[in-house]
Structures are given as C-alpha cells and as structure tokens.
Structure 1
Amino acid sequence: MTIDKETVDKIAHLARLELAEDEKQEMIKDMSRILDFMAKLNEVDTSGVEPLVYMTDEKNVLREDVIKQTITTHEALSNAPKHDENHFLVAKVIEK
C-alpha cells in the first residue's frame, strides 16, 4: 500500500485533524516508514511461536481492602454546596 496525499487527507479527516501541507508531507513519510516496518515484520518466520497473551508470568497481587479512616455523614456533607440531612444534592442531568 502506498501512502499519498489523499490517504493522509482521509485519515486526518477520520481523526478530526487539520494538517498543513508541510505536515501532510511529513505524515506521508512517517506512515510510509511504518508500513515498510510492518512489511519487514511480515518477513519474520513465526511458525511454531505461541501467541503471547501476557507479557509476564507474574500474578497480580491484590491487597485486602482495609478501612483506615472513616468520617461521619455530617462531616462528609459539611463541604457540599447543597445537601439535605443525608444526601448530596446535585442538578438533574438525565431527563426521562
């Protein structure tokens, strides 16, 4: 696949980018280099190579949830601009 100005224009439109003419020329060069690199990777013999699912064999170590500090409802609501006795009051954002 060759990268030309029309291809760059289409990709820039899809990505909602505005590119100057000199930027388009640079983009043509960069994208061509990327495609050349991908073509080079396609030359590598990967038969017999298992697909890589994880980058490491390490297991994710999760910590237990521990309550370190609690605050009362009154303390939580003390800095709220609008609240009633037990709840934060916010503007309605979803119409039914």
Structure 2
Amino acid sequence: MSAITRDEVAHLARLSRLALTEDELDHFAAQLGVILESVARVSEVAADDIPPSSHALPLTNVFRPDERQPSLTPDQALAGAPAPEENRFRVPRILEEE
C-alpha cells in the first residue's frame, strides 16, 4: 500500500501551484510512496548506540595557517583599471537605484 494517497498528492500540488493531470497524480503518488517507504526504512536502521555524524570519514583541516604577507598598494591594484575613482574601481551601474 502506498504511504501517500492520490488526494494528498493533489493537495500538495495545489499548495505548490502545480497543475497535474489525473495520470500524473497517480504516477507521483506511487513515486512519493516509494520515497517515503525508503525514508522509513532508513529510520528503522538507525541504532541508538551509533553516535550521529555529519560525515562518514573523519575530516581534517587542510588549509594553511593565516600568515600576514605583503599586499598591493591601492595604486598598484588600480594600475590596470580603465577608470579608477577615489581609490576604487569604477564599474558600470547595473541597478536603477540611487
């Protein structure tokens, strides 16, 4: 037996503003039923003695430590800019807001 009825799929479709045909309602009811049954099966497998985890394997940070390094001066950074303005890059306006 399907875990979700055809009427429930029609209700979800109305809430989602989806226009579904009669055949699509039957088709999606069957598919959603399989999905819900699969989720229920996974819930049954979860054991209390297994701690929850976000990853199957342990993760280690592979980033280098932050170290202060010399950077460009404003003049060097703007040297290739076509039209710098007040020590900033001038770019075309893309929004109509002030």
Q: Same fold (TM over 0.5)?
A: yes
Partner-residue secondary structure (3-state), 1:41: helix
Match for 1:26: what amino acid?
A: H
Identity of aligned residues (%): 27
TM-score (ref. length: structure 2): 0.58
Q: What TM-score, normalized by structure 1, do the two folds share? A: 0.59
Pairs within 5 Å for 1:58-73: 58-62=59-63, 73=78
**Alignment partner of 1:30 is 2:35:** no
Matched with 2:10 is 9
Give unpaired runs (5+ residues) of structure 2.
70-75
In structure 2, the residue matched to 1:75 is 80
What SS class does the counterpart of residue 19 from structure 2 fall into?
A: coil
| Equivalence for 2:45 | 44
Q: Which protein has greater RCO, CA pairs closer than 8 Å, 6+ apart?
A: 2
**Distance change in 2, residues 1:89/1:37 (3 Å):** closer
CA shift in 2, pair 1:73/1:17, >3 Å: farther
Looking at structure 2, the residues matched to 26 and 34 of structure 1 have their Cα atoms a distance apart, in angstroms, of 13
Change (3 A) 1:4 1:56: same
Q: What is the count of residue pairs matched by the alignment? A: 89
Q: Which runs of 5+ in 1 are unaligned?
A: none
**What residue number does 1:90 align with?**
93
Structure 2 CA distance for partners of 1:44 and 1:91, relative to 1, 3 Å: closer
1:54 is displaced (CA, Å) by 2.5
Offset of residue 41 of structure 1 = 2.9
